[in-house]
Amino acid sequence: MGLTIAQKIIKNHLIEGDMIPGSEIALKIDQTLTQDATGTMAYLEFEAIGIDRVKTERSVAYIDHNTLQCGFENADDHIYIQSVAKKHGIYFSRPGNGICHQVHLERFGIPGKTLIGSDSHTPTGGGIGMLAMGAGGLDVAVAMGGGAYYITMPKMYKVNLTGKLRPFVTAKDVSLEILRILSVKGGVGAIIEWGGEGIKTLSVPERATITNMGTELGATTSIFPSDEITKAFLEAEGRGADFVALESDADAVYDKIIDIDLSTLEPLIACPHSPDNVCKVSEIEGTKVDQVCIGSCTNSSLSDMLKVASLLKGRTIDPSVSLSISPGSKQVLSMLTSSGALTDILASGARLLECACGPCIGMGFSPNSAGVSLRTFNRNFLGRSGTKDGNVYLVSPETAVAAAVFGTITDPRKLGSAPEISIPEKYAIDDSAVIEPANADEAVALEVKRGPNIKPFPDCHPVTDEIEAKLVLKVGDNITTDHIMPAGAKILPYRSNIPHLSQYCFTVCDEKFPENAKAAGQSFIVGGSNYGQGSSREHAALVPLYLGVRAVVAKSFARIHAANLINAGIMPLEFKNADDYDKLSQGDELAMVNVYAGMDSGVIKLVNKTKSEEYELICSYTDRQKSILKAGGLLPYTKLNG
Ligand code: MIC
Ligand code: SF4
């Protein structure tokens, strides 16, 4: 039987396990990346593991999320990350150099290699044929130390593309179309391979938009073949030597095949507050727009920005709209500048933001009260923009420009003729903002600088055989990590200060959650399906741990969050009968008995002492996961087991 692209890479990196969907496998990791909002914690964990030098082929620490320095906290964290990187063998991408995924694709990604990153959009690297996955910070710390990365062997899906996109229909619309078809949980447990004749019409930046947004499907990752288009991109980046060709075997077997004819697609838009709430732009034309943001790791490539510049050239944006542009990297910004395209953008009335995540994670540029914001980003979860009642829509750069120019949601085809942009023969290469690590000898004497905002890791709690706890919070389906641990400019600076962060935990759903959880001492949370979708932030597990949460019982979980819960020593458990979800009420006094035996049999009994009822919960922990839970998390487990 032939192999898919992902199966080939997995086979080459398999350390443990069998490639049987649903079973646990351990992979050797070639490259890692971190960003600053998850990086401080990841490097504190790496230090706690106690390994001197990273053992990967390449590890890069990016500063791109926490770039607003409204107090000492973010600046201190940047200095900490820079100093820890220099000492332990990690490349440091300075603030201003760009968004981790964009820069990694340009300068470091290699087809056929494995990459894990402490950011859920790490699958962007699949645009050049990498097996690139988002992970919790602790998993990245372990991989930097040479440890394996454990995942459940995914199923294989294929999206077969035929035809060619029509003018003003873009890779972003392809991403929205697949979200419309599969929904935000349709990719859970799967790797999505993109193939078919249609992919020959898509450049690497377009492919990277698609693999980036595959994260919103809940997929383990997404991947394109590495072909002559990949080769041309790597050559233009001066990295032709990194090219290797990769394709699936003709007789590879897929669990699901989806066909999309590119020539039938239209400009699409994801409406508030979920990336899969998709309709045609033409269906909601005329809605008044207050703000437009162009950028983020989904749509900030040079090609995207040049299209935007060409459409804005000679036009002035509507006076009632505020337009921001954040180029994805210093390379993109410098080429926009030298080509004169930036002048066209600025002349239209746009505001230039730095090469960073910015508004995507609520780091500035929050919309006005109840404002309508059209963004080229990948997520529009409630409250993420920083404005609680903001209405965020997700669109292509072309649709974003149309809204900025006309002041309302408008089909971009009304802008006239579509710009034709091809990737340059040579990108402007300047790696001066990437600081190399010290060599092993020099590193010994180097000091790691820690600011006062860095607080100790929360106390670990080994899972015990009997747990009495209160149900402090019951939530519904598709709870995101932005609900659990909100981000934004006011909260993000405290990612290395768990006690401070804890005041905000789940407050989007229940203002009183932190107070109630603390008062309960030990607690459980109940959720619906796809609990924990979205970001890879391990803080969505570490903060509940700090607040006393011992288990989360849900109808189903998102992949990275379930792994983060286990890494934090919190049990993720699923209802055996989904109807039992309705029987539980917030405030119920609960108990789990014979937990260890239940972990072995796969069924744990949950006693509702308030209602005198019993429910069955299921778990399918591997022996490794059971040991992690019994040790109180991956950190104590790794220290014990080396
Ligand atoms: C996001 O897009 O939600 C983030 C911010 O990049 C997160 C990481 C984080 O919370 O720091 C992600 O996607 O993993
Ligand atoms: Fe940054 Fe937004 Fe991309 Fe997350 S999704 S890495 S916040 S640009």
pLDDT confidence of residue 26: 98
Q: Are 618 and 611 in contact (CB under 8 A)?
A: no
Reported in sequence order, the residue ranges of 262-353 that DSSP labels E, i.e. its strands, are 268-270, 278-280, 291-294, 322-325, 351-352
Ligand 2 pocket test target in 360, 375, 377, 537 with most atoms within 8 Å of CB: 360
Query: 292 near 404, Cβ under 8 Å?
Result: yes
Start-to-end CA span in the chain (Å): 37
The string of pLDDT tens digits covering residues 456-506 is 889 999 999 999 999 999 999 999 999 999 999 999 999 999 999 999 999
For 335-365, the DSSP string reads: HHHHHTHHHHHHHTTPEEPPSS-GGGGTSS-
Closest atom of ligand 1 to 492 CA is: 11
Residues with CB under 6 A from ligand 1: 37-38, 65, 119-121, 134, 361, 487, 534-537
Encoding tokens for residue 342?
Answer: 């930036």
8-state DSSP, 288: B
**Cβ atoms within 10 Å of 329's Cβ, excluding its own:** 29
Question: Which atom of ligand 2 is nearest the CA belonging to 295?
Answer: 8
Helix or strand or coil: residue 5?
A: helix
Among residues 81, 97, 58, 64, which one has the least CA distance to residue 433? 97
CB of 213 closer than 6 A to ligand 2? Answer: no
Expressed in angstroms and rounded, the spacing between residue 587 Cα and the centre of ligand 1 is 31
Q: How far apart are CA 426 and CA 7, in angstroms?
A: 33
Helices (H) and strands (E) in the chain, counts: 22, 27
Name the residue type at position 11.
Answer: K
- Which ligand is the nearest neighbour of the Cα of 363? 2
* Residue whose CA lies nearest to ligand 2 atom number 2: 360
Instruction: Quote the tokens at residue 162.
Output: 């035929």
**Pocket perturbation via mutation, ligand 1, pick of 119, 376, 495 by most ligand atoms within 8 A of CB:** 119
Q: How many CA atoms lie within 13 A of 374 on its CB side?
A: 31
Q: Which atom of ligand 2 is nearest to the CA of 300?
A: 8
pLDDT tens for each residue of 157-191: 999 999 999 999 999 999 999 999 999 999 999 99
Q: Which residue's CA is minimally distant from atom 1 of ligand 1?
A: 535
Distance CA 469, CA 630 (A): 18
Proximal ligand: closest to the CA of 541: 1
The dihedral through the CA atoms of 30, 35, 37, 41 has a sign that is: positive
Report which of 26, 32, 3, 14 is spatially closest to residue 191, judged by C-alpha positions. Answer: 3
Tokens at 608, concatenated: 């509702």
Strand order across the 434-435 sheet: 131-134, 114-117, 31-34, 58-62, 91-93, 434-435
Q: Are 44 and 17 in contact (CB under 8 A)?
A: no
Q: Taking the chain (642 residues) in consecutive chunks of 10 residues, what is each chunk's mean pLDDT?
A: 97 98 98 98 96 98 97 97 98 98 99 98 99 98 98 98 98 98 98 98 98 98 98 98 98 98 98 98 98 98 98 98 98 98 98 98 97 98 95 99 99 96 95 98 97 93 98 98 96 96 97 98 98 98 98 98 98 98 98 97 98 98 98 95 78
Place of tokens 């980003």: 377
How many angstroms separate the alpha carbon of residue 488 from the centre of ligand 2?
Answer: 12
Amino acid at position 184, single letter = V
The values of phi and psi at residue 180, to 5°, are: -65, -40
Q: Are 188 and 214 in contact (CB under 8 A)?
A: no
**How far apart are alpha carbons 55 and 27 in whole angstroms?**
14
Q: Which two tokens stand for residue 403?
A: 């809204």
What ligand is nearest to the CA atom of residue 353?
2
Q: How far apart are CA 390 and CA 507, in angstroms?
A: 17
Separation CA 363–CA 358 (nearest Å): 5
User: How many residues in total does the chain contain?
Assistant: 642
Closest alpha carbon to 328 in 320, 336, 318: 336
Protein residue with least CA distance to atom 7, ligand 1 = 535
**Local structure of 626: helix, strand or coil:** helix
> Rounded to whole angstroms, how far apart are CA atoms 493 and 514?
19
Q: What is the C-alpha separation between 601 and 622, in angstroms, rounded?
A: 11
Paired residues of 252 in beta bridges:
2
**Is ligand 2 within 6 A of the CB of residue 357?**
yes
Q: Name the residue with the closest Cα to ligand 1, atom 3.
A: 535
Which two tokens mark 524?
């459980």
Asked if 329 and 299 touch (Cβ cutoff 8 Å), the reply is no
